[in-house]
Amino acid sequence: MSKIGTDRSKMRQHGDNANVLIVDREPPTIRLLLEILARKGIVARVAADRKAARDALDGNGCDLAFLSTPLAGADDAGSFQLLSEIRATAPEMPVIMMAGPRVETGAESLLQCGTQTAVRALQAGCRDFLLKPLDARTVNNLLESLLPNRQVATAAAAREGDHALYQIIGKSPKLVQTITLAAKIAPTSVPVLI
């Protein structure tokens, strides 16, 4: 497989025609996302399955991906395989996984299924997890928090080897674990207690 959207020079600022991939096949979800993205001047591409998503990502810079699970004609494994491929080739690209309500017996089964999928998605490297039907305000908040940080992430990556701002002294496992955690959450605007 070729590199998936890893060219840093193709990353764009929010408002500077950011590029978003939507991997879904449900018209209401696609329509809502396209409307929100168009209002913000964000370029969007839509793929209905894993192969189309890989084709859309190959050679094209992508700033953010909305990934539905399960994908067309597959179970959750197809979505998580695509997520794994994205994480391996473009670890800095935020991915938001979306899941629709599954038809099971009772609300408790639905909640448990959604919770298990959300935990699995976040452990696999998703930046966030949304249940369908999507809430426009939540999507807007995510876009505002994730896309403006592209410049910060790119600048930080460029300085990574230079240690331009500071140098951590110490190599204890706990310190390394804390620094790794801080690096993972730094691009988000979520309050964190360490």
Q: Which domains does the chain have, with CATH numbers?
A: 8-150 (3.40.50.2300)
Q: What is the predicted pLDDT for the residue at 6?
A: 42
Q: What is the predicted pLDDT for the residue at 18?
A: 87
Helix, strand, coil percent content, the chain, rounded in steps of 5: 45, 15, 40
Identify which of 117, 118, 108, 150 has the alpha carbon closest to the alpha carbon of residue 19. Answer: 150
Q: Please give the backbone phi and psi of residue 178, each rounded to the nearest 5 degrees, phi first.
A: -65, -45
pTM of the model: 0.66
The two three-digit tokens of residue 192, written as one number = 């964190």
Q: What is the predicted pLDDT for the residue at 112?
A: 54
Q: Residue 164, class by beta-carbon neighbours within 10 Å (0-12 exposed, 13-18 middle, 19+ buried)?
A: exposed
DSSP run (H or E) holding 108: helix 106-123
Inter-residue contact 26 to 100 (CB < 8 Å): yes
Spans in the chain with pLDDT lower than 50: 1-3, 5-15, 103, 105, 109-110, 150-166
Q: What is the predicted pLDDT for the residue at 114?
A: 72
Q: What is the predicted pLDDT for the residue at 162?
A: 45
